[in-house]
Structure 1
Amino acid sequence: MTTVPAALAARLSREHDSGTLLVSGSLPELRDAGVAWQVQRAGERQRLAAGAVLTGWKVGYASEALRHEMGISTPNYGPLYADMVRCSGAPVGPGLAQPRVEPEVALVMAAEVDPRQLAKLSEAEGHRALSEAVAEVRCALEVVDSVWAWYSFTWEENTADGSSAARVVLGDPIPASADLATIGITIREVDAHGNATTYTGSSGAAMGHPLSSLRWLAGALAEEGRSLRAGDIVLTGGLTPTLPLAAGATVSAQFDSSGWAGHVEVSR
């Protein structure tokens, strides 16, 4: 017999595939946080069974600005799959109903992370240990695509929907000399008519430091008996309000730190 979480996960997947948007509150089972996580995990199992490859994780709502924008009180996380990953400058691809974009610091893991050891360390010690477990740091854009109409949802609904993860756009590498807590960010959307919208932010918006976001994720995964693996991509959290990615639009982000600048962009 099909379980409720599996049936709900399949429903969300069908709506994404068809471009159908749901109204918040229309699936009353998702009022419960435990059910929301079960739905996310059921959706992951279904995607893996269909041939998808798990390639990492995103932290959702790591920044206070995004939590305020979306009416979300606490962070969450969701899985990333290999078919979501794009190189900077590539089109986002078809199949997105209401995509929005946010700049992020992406980490590519070099080694598995043991959260039990992290729990014994101070913040500074934990950052040093996590830095050693990271192979590469990249400028990135996350493209989100919620199944919930108008991006109006509860934390539980967003969690069940994989924290709205849709695409991962990887741009320039961030040098080891950059202070990951103080990188300046400028994100700009230019629509099909040449109209531009710009936001600015800082890498410190992700829980004060992207490595703090990584540490939070490692602990959250450990509660499920899981861990970060070598090769995993981790999106550490949006750093500005999101920008829409309408047809014909391009969204780009500039990352700046102590004489260094990096870039990443995506189009639709």
Structure 2
Amino acid sequence: MRASVVTLALATSFLVSAPAFAACPDDAAIDAFLAERAAARPTTAPVAAGGSIADALCAQEKIVARLSADLGPVVGYKAGLTSPKSQEIFGVSEPVFGTLLKGMILEPGASVSPSDAVRALYEADLIVEISDAAVNEASTPEEVLASIAGVRPFLELPALVVGKDEKLDGAAITSINVGAWRGVMGELIVLPQGAEGVAMLAGFTARLTDDATGETLSAAPGKAVLGHPLNAVTWIAGVLKAQGKALKPGDLVSVGSIGPLHPMKPGMSVTLAYEGLPGTPKIGASFK
């Protein structure tokens, strides 16, 4: 099957195969989880490993609603575990769905304290900015490309929140909103349309570098994400459609890990470069 067909199939199985909401965590459980999260104390996922995706999405919806009081409205979505390596680490065979809030998005060069979260991480990512609702019917990267304003550099700073001994699988990760915590986003990059733009997004390299040493921490191509980063947009659109929702102009879609996750270390600063995209854009952050 083509990669776009595969992502649509995954989006369908993500929801259709899950049972109806049967054990959505109650408000007290969600409040307790968020209190520990805010205090940067290890906690447990609202839906434990082995639970249902439906219950996990219910928990996520409650969490997002409460966080939005401080972090503002929903600005987009994230596809997590989109690389083979990340799927291997967490024992899943398909992506997971998360929600992004306005206050999670930071300016380039932001300084972040790892101690503000449990198991704070960083990873190479990419944001796709939607420009046309026709993206919801797109089935190929070329069709998605025609419905976006462009892409933005995105150094995602997720936090796993739970203790190191707790098992995380697709349901557990979904219930913690796929670790969405913070992320540094850059300026819009306009891409060529058609085959040229599609090839550019598949072939560019996301390179993470340690600013102090110049060491390459990771380097991976765009196609490490579901065969093509725009397939993540198709997948997100499919998940939303199954929920009776849709992507709209202005929405942001985080395509997920382009390479491995890295633990955030105090005193470190990193730069993420997109080799092969127009102007070789870069974005960075420091960890205090």
Q: TM-score, structure 2 length as denominator?
A: 0.79
Tell me: CA distance 1:215–1:27, structure 2 relative to 1, closer, same or farther (3 Å): closer
Q: Hey, what does 1:88 align to over in structure 2?
A: 108
Tell me: CA distance 1:261–1:155, structure 2 relative to 1, closer, same or farther (3 Å): same
Q: Which structure shows the bigger proportion of residues in strand conformation?
A: 1
Is residue 2:77 matched to residue 1:57?
A: yes
Q: How far off its partner does 1:190 sit?
A: 5.3
Q: How far off its partner does 1:174 sit?
A: 3.4
Q: Hey, what does 1:13 align to over in structure 2?
A: 34
Aligned residues: 256
What is the alpha-carbon distance in structure 2 between the residues aligned to residue 235 and residue 5 of structure 1?
29
Partner AA of 2:251 in structure 1: D
Question: Which of residues 44, 49, 52 in structure 1 aligns to 2:64?
Answer: 44
Contact 2:48 2:172 in 1 (8 A): no
Is residue 2:218 matched to residue 1:209?
A: no
Give 5+ residue unaligned stretches, structure 2: 1-23
Deviations 1:218-253 (A, max 9, x none): 001111111112211111111110112222111221
Q: How far off its partner does 1:49 sit?
A: 5.0
For residues 84-233 of structure 1, what are the structure 2 equivalents within 5 Å?
84-92=104-112, 95-113=116-134, 115=136, 117-118=137-138, 121=139, 123=140, 127-150=141-164, 152-177=167-192, 179-189=200-210, 198-233=217-252
What is the alpha-carbon distance in structure 2 between the residues aligned to residue 149 and residue 197 of structure 1?
29
What is the alpha-carbon distance in structure 1 between the residues aligned to residue 71 and residue 183 of structure 2?
19
Contact 1:111 1:133 in 2 (8 A): yes
Tell me: CA distance 1:29–1:11, structure 2 relative to 1, closer, same or farther (3 Å): farther
What is the alpha-carbon distance in structure 2 between the residues aligned to residue 76 and residue 113 of structure 1?
23
What is the alpha-carbon distance in structure 2 between the residues aligned to residue 48 and residue 231 of structure 1?
18
Q: How far off its partner does 1:195 sit?
A: 9.2
Q: How far off its partner does 1:81 sit?
A: 0.6
Tell me: CA distance 1:27–1:206, structure 2 relative to 1, closer, same or farther (3 Å): closer
Contact 2:211 2:270 in 1 (8 A): yes
Deviations 1:174-228 (A, max 9, x none): 341451111112112457xx69561111111111111111001000111111111
Q: TM-score, structure 1 length as denominator?
A: 0.85
Tell me: CA distance 1:183–1:4, structure 2 relative to 1, closer, same or farther (3 Å): same
Match of 2:203, SS state, is: coil
Match of 1:136, SS state, is: strand
Tell me: CA distance 1:248–1:113, structure 2 relative to 1, closer, same or farther (3 Å): farther
